[in-house]
Amino acid sequence: MADNDDLPPDEPPAGPTDPSDIKPISIVDEMKRSYLDYAMSVIVSRALPDARDGLKPVHRRILFSMSENNHNPDRPYVKCARVVGDVIGKYHPHGDQSIYDALVRMAQDFSMRLMLIDGQGNFGSVDGDPPAAYRYTESRLTKAAIPLLDDIDKETVNFQPNYDGSQREPTVLPAKYPNLLVNGAGGIAVGMATNIPPHNLGEVIEACIALIDNPAITLEELMEIVKGPDFPTSGLILGRAGIRSAYETGRGSIIMRAKTTSETIRDREAIIVNEIPYQVNKVTLIEKISELVKEKRIEGIAAMRDESDRDGMRIVIELKRDAMADVVLNQLYRFTPMQTSFPANMVALNGGRPETMTLRDLIRVFVEFREEVVSRRTKFLLGKARDRAHVLCGLAIAVANIDEVIRLIRTAPDPNTAREWLMERDWPAADIAPLIALVDDPRHRVSADNTYRLSDIQARAILELRLARLTALGRDEIGDELQKLAAEISEYLEILRSRARIQGIIKDELTAISAQFATPRKTAILDWASDVDDEDLIQREDMVITVSHAGYIKRVPLSTYRAQRRGGKGRSGMQTRDEDFVTRLFVANTHTPILFFSSRGQVYKEKVWRLPLAAPNARGKALVNMLPLEANERITTIMPLPEDETSWETLDVMFATDSGGVRRNKLSDFVQVNRNGKIAMKLDEGGHIVGVATCSELDDVLLTTAAGQCIRFAVPEVRVFKGRDSTGVRGISLAKGDTVISMAILRHMEATPEERASYLRMRRAVEGQADEAEDQPVEPDEDAGAEAGALPQERYSEMSAAEQFVLTLSERGFGKRTSSYEYRTTGRGGKGIVAMATTERNGRLVASFAVEDEDQIMLVTDGGQLIRVPVDGIRVVGRATQGVTVFVTSNGDKVVSVEHLEGEGEAGEDDGEGVAEAAEE
């Protein structure tokens, strides 16, 4: 085999592997070792920056190569292809695209806070345009890159062999400013990543100086100097919580937002975007906004265009005439990259090991590194000065003994012999001994007999001495230079002996760099409490909320309904089925909160804007599909409330159960309600809530039972409960088999029994009613026999204005209206008084509530019949009467539900299917 010809004779030729040389290894151990080697290679050699100079290896190699090839700011631009080729060939044997991408980023003013490469040509844009190929672009170092490379030739940093050992490259650059904080860094390694935001150079340098002056400086003191990141694309930072977290722990989410202004363009308001968040693609941002407008997730935008030019960014977003700029802006912040976060993860290599570092750590590491660099530079300069002084001392000896030196050289047979003779002689040094002493070099010692022996270096320098230096002027120049070097050596030694001197030099250099390169802050920091709430994205608008008997709900903009003159036909308020009908209609703002109380004792809370938006004739959405209701659970009360939830503290809410229990809570107990609801009232086994209503201590509570009893008591009779997990207190004492069917809140009655009796007698007389009604009372009223005279007209008018009417309905379709003055106030917990005579003729009661003349009611039987009746057609009669016929039910049918339609006005014959329009504001 030809390949084995050069092997030593005692070694066998290479051949098939000897089976005895094969050793089994664990694949688990091999994979673990190989993976860790690969991971550490990626972490240390590619992905993470060094905490000292803030550079990854590829960036460091690019800058070093350009410096070595003299591509400095004062030299012409060179092709980027040449730079990339030099870096690949000498230092970075990886893909050319990765090197060019790194070079391009250092030349982008929207990526770097302080650019390190001065590029000429297309280096990409904030629109996401890619840079031109490296054969078309040119580059050179910027002035700001020079301080990163200064003194690299003074042994300030360690060098290592390149990948093939043919060159040497620095392990770190002797950076004069903390580049890692100034320009930030980003990278993904194996099992870890880094994402450090850029900062303002002036602030960071000031923080470094502050740390030098006070090594015990706190984070709070540093944050007074370093306000936060300073992004090259400007923009805004919301709040300081994310900044503090990043600076304190090394991790934090920094909320960034675009900067906008408002202008009027062609009589329309327009939002002008002048600055966007860091690393956001402008074209992608515009496309996202357009997409959301088409999907109608963002409403109110009429047109949008990009007017950016070389003078700056300008995205114009024109609004519709009825749009609110604040609402549209909040929607843009919520749904588009106009507001985004920067996930700070400050991981860097510290001593060759990856470490999550705080702001103070990063500044401390840089300051310690600069102390090392300045110390090594001083040692290097000291060595150079001493070497030169060593040579000058030899020259001074030669000049002082020039005749003897010339004679010795002339007689020497060759230069080597002359050099040896020069080194063997003891030369007189009495005249220059004081000058040699100034050098302070152990190599320079004058013996006790004032003689001096030359070294090899000095002898060689003497042999190379030019004759011009032998003149008087030359002799003086040597002495002057030697004295100057002696002063420099003394200065260097003093610096090395004093850490304070080294720190002073660092501060002076930092101050000079700040004066040369620092610029005003670009990114403003705004005080900010929390995220934008969904409600901030919703425009305030009046909505008509419609609820049906079968539990369907919807909202329709009030502006959809046009006002009609009296006598109009109206329009359908909801498309309902034959067995369904509208039971509730009210107008509320989109930001109005609504409480939904269920028969199971749960309460649910929604804002109006969360209700399903539908067309006027649409059916809406079932509550069971909108709220997490259980089987057989139904909503018994829908309660719109004031938008200002702080005012809820002044309101109370009263609950009533079918077993006669009542409970009073502060309405503010229901400010916080989870999406899946919360317990409103604890119920007995099998019990349910029959009514919920807001009240005050100036109101009365009226409970009515199925057996025809009722009780009226003042609200203060029920104490305010602190919790929600109790069953409350007894409101009425029920007979066996009886149950509460309804609760009504009435205005408190400020009248004596005599006044009430007189008022009722006078009102009946005024209305022409006889004391004996069609239905005779079956139970005398305790107040009926009270002695009462006529009321003064003023008092009669006052009581008439405060009078309310209670409508009571039975299962056989009988009903009546009764004056609230006929329901006397008693103590809570009693058996009550007669609300309506219940006989076989009219059956048990099904409903009782306060009504107004313009109201309507809807009655539904268990046979599916329903009727809509105006309240003003039902007679006003005494409390203990059987009432009049309201609904003629079929044989055996019973009224099972009565719905109160508030403020419906006069209804036409064909209005049973929906609500007549009454949309006048």
Q: Distance (Å, rounded) from C-alpha 353 to C-alpha 201?
A: 26
Q: Distance (Å, rounded) from C-alpha 457 to C-alpha 901?
A: 115
How buried is residue 94: exposed, middle or buried, by Cβ count under 10 Å (0-12/13-18/19+)? middle
Q: Distance (Å, rounded) from C-alpha 116 to C-alpha 72?
A: 11
Q: Distance (Å, rounded) from C-alpha 466 to C-alpha 309?
A: 65
3-state secondary structure of 404: helix
Q: Please work out, in degrees rounded to the nearest 5, the angle formed at the alpha carbon of residue 858 by the alpha carbons of 855 and 860.
A: 165
Are 382 and 442 in contact by the 8 Å Cβ rule? The answer is no
Q: Which residues 6+ apart lie within 8 Å of 456 measured at CB?
A: 419, 423
Dump strand ranges (E) for 111-171.
117-120, 138-141, 159-161, 168-170
3-state secondary structure of 900: strand
Q: Distance (Å, rounded) from C-alpha 49 to C-alpha 576?
A: 68
Residues serving a catalytic function are: 136
Q: How many CB atoms lie within 10 A of CB 850?
A: 17
How buried is residue 761: exposed, middle or buried, by Cβ count under 10 Å (0-12/13-18/19+)? middle
Q: Distance (Å, rounded) from C-alpha 290 to C-alpha 542?
A: 28
Q: Which residues 6+ apart lie within 8 Å of 729 measured at CB?
A: 661, 662, 663, 718, 719, 828, 829
Among 426, 409, 402, 404, which Cα is nearest to 460's?
409
- Which position has the token pair 């809820």? 648
Q: Distance (Å, rounded) from C-alpha 93 to C-alpha 57?
A: 12
The torsion angles phi and psi of 136, rounded to 5 degrees, stand at -105, -20
Q: Which helix (DSSP H) or strand (DSSP E) does residue 261 occupy?
A: strand 259-265
Question: Beta partners for 78?
Answer: 139
Are 690 and 656 in contact by the 8 Å Cβ rule? The answer is yes
- The CA R_g of the chain, rounded to the nearest whole Å, is 47
Q: Which residues 6+ apart lie within 8 Å of 92 measured at CB?
A: 57, 58, 61, 62, 99
Q: Distance (Å, rounded) from C-alpha 272 to C-alpha 263?
A: 7
Which tokens is 81 given? 């292809």
